[in-house]
Every structure is written in structure tokens, then in C-alpha cells.
Amino acid sequence: MKKKLTRFDFQKMKESGENVTWITAYDYSTAMFAEKAGMDMLLVGDSLGMCIYGYEGTVPVTMDQCIAHSEAVRRAAPNTFIVGDMPFLSYQVSIEDAVANAGRFYKEAGVDAIKLEGGKRVCPQIQAISDGGMLVIGHIGLTPQSSGQLGGFKAQGLTAESAAALIEDAKAIQDAGAFALLVEAVPPEVCKIITDLLSIPVYSIGAGVHADGQLMICHDVLGIFQAFTPKFVKRYAEIGEQIESVFKEYVEDVRESRFPEDKHTYKMLKGEEEKLIKTI
């Protein structure tokens, strides 16, 4: 049976140069397949707002939605390290809120860690959640919850000045007690500096190959999310197209009475049909 990894395993993997594999999952079936595939980590990302609920961004996502999806993922993947993603306004308003909401992920969904977006400005929250005995992953670079402030879903750290600010954020997050850091949509050379500088593991989504592991959004990798595809995504399949063609085939079969076939139906017990006809 697969062994669930711990923060110490992730730390050792950084030290031995073994890449961590990480993908988002929002539902039971996907999480089950990810665990079977040997994924090291799952993120129940607030990207579920776009992938599952059809919102334009992650801002409308609620704690209750994140908890419900995290519970389903936990049931499907008992032996995989699961990270719950703190949605917008679940940690920005106050430190007390941040600790209580992180605690909900632990108590109600049984996650192994939580992730939250932001640099220096969320370090008091990171510190308080860690002091509460929970594991925190920081998230810098393109932070979708503040995409309005960033001017959209745009790559970050493209200038020396903004890269230096990201490096300062990364150090502050480590000092605040995060056990790992996610860097999103940042040039590889900047992510490499951060990875080399920090003693905690640094993971990339769209930040190149030099990090300690990679995260991808499952709907991107599977080719299910159709609205847009960021540059950093590798689409391993076009499952969306396959789903559409299966549904079309089913629609045609039903319309033409080709489905269900005899093999899809139940048989009455011998002699019961005649009895029934006599009765009616």
C-alpha cells in the first residue's frame, strides 16, 4: 500500500533532489486516480471555482465549498498528502479568522496542510496558523485572488525589482514558519534563486524546472478546462473532446433506439411475464 508522505519526507526529497509531484483534485474520482498513479500531493485548489463552478475567477469561492470538496478528496485518497486552499477572505480579514478557517480544513476535511496566497502581508497569518500546530504552504508570484491588483492573470518577477520583491517575500514566508512555498508564473531563473536560497521545499506552477517539484491543475492537464490555457500548461490529453464525443454518441444511440440493448436490461423470472399479462 502507498505510504502517505510527511513534511519530513518532502524536506528529504528537497535535499536529495527528488522532484515532488503535485496536482489539483476537487472530486472523489479524480483524487482516487491520482492516488493510484502515485501522486505525492493533492491540492484542493480554489481553482475549483473556475473548473467546477464556472466562475470567472477564484474570488467567489467559499470556505464551505472548499471544505466539501476537500472531504471528498480525502475519502478518495487516504494515503496521499492533501493540501486545502484557503479561499478569498478566509484569512485576509483577521488573524483569528485565518486560524479558525485553517482549523476547519483540518477538523472537517482532514487535510494535511493548508495553502494561502501572498507575501509579507500574510506572514502574521502564516505564523499564527503554524503556531496553532498546522502546516502552511505559502504561494507567491501570480496569486489569482489578487489578480485585480496584478492587472490580470499575468506572469510576475519579470523585472529585477519585482523579482527582488518576490525573493524578499519568499524569505519572509519561510521565517514565518511555512513548511513549503509555491511559486506561480515566474521566470525559471527567479524560481531557481528562491529554491536555492530557501531551506524549505519550493514548488513551481509555471516557474520552471529548477524547483523542488511541480504542481499542475488537473483540468488543464486533462484538457477539460476550455476557457483558456496558460503558457505553462502541458495538456497531456483532450479528455474534454472525448467527453463531448461520448455524449454525442449516447444522444444518437438513444434517439435511434440503439440503446439500451438486450444485454443492458433485466429479465423477468421464467413464466412471470405470462402471469402478469393474464392479471392485467
207 binds ligand KIV (CB under 6 A): no
- Give dist(CA 6, CA 22) in Å, integer: 14
Helices 28-36 and 63-76 pack at an angle, to 10 degrees, of: 40
45 binds ligand KIV (CB under 6 A): yes
70 binds ligand KIV (CB under 6 A): no
186 binds ligand KIV (CB under 6 A): no
Q: Which residue among 35, 40, 71, 85 contacts ligand KIV (CB under 6 A)?
A: 85
The alpha carbon dihedral of 98, 103, 108, 113 has a sign of: positive
Site for ligand KIV in 144-163 (CB under 6 A): 144
- Give dist(CA 209, CA 231) in Å, integer: 14
Task: Name which of 102, 109, 105 is nearest 177 in CA terms.
Answer: 102
Region of 29-37, 40-48, 65-73, 221-229 interacting with ligand KIV (CB under 6 A): 40-48
Which residues does residue 116 pair with via DSSP β-bridges, in sequence order? 138
226/245 with CB nearer ligand KIV: 226
Active site residue 184: yes
170/205 with CB nearer ligand KIV: 205
- Give dist(CA 148, CA 236) in Å, integer: 30
Region of 42-50, 106-114, 165-173, 256-264 interacting with ligand KIV (CB under 6 A): 42-50
46 binds ligand KIV (CB under 6 A): yes
Which residues does residue 82 pair with via DSSP β-bridges, in sequence order? 42
- Give dist(CA 181, CA 169) in Å, integer: 10
Task: Give me the catalytic one of 56, 117, 184, 252.
Answer: 184
Q: Is-contact 128 98, C-beta < 8 A?
A: yes
Residue nearest to ligand KIV (CB): 45
- Give dist(CA 106, CA 194) in Å, integer: 29
123 binds ligand KIV (CB under 6 A): no
195 binds ligand KIV (CB under 6 A): no
125 binds ligand KIV (CB under 6 A): no
Element (H, E) at 191: helix 188-197
In the complex, the residues that contact ligand KIV under the rule CB under 6 A are 24, 43, 45-47, 85, 144, 182, 184, 205, 215, 217
Residue positions annotated with a catalytic role? 184
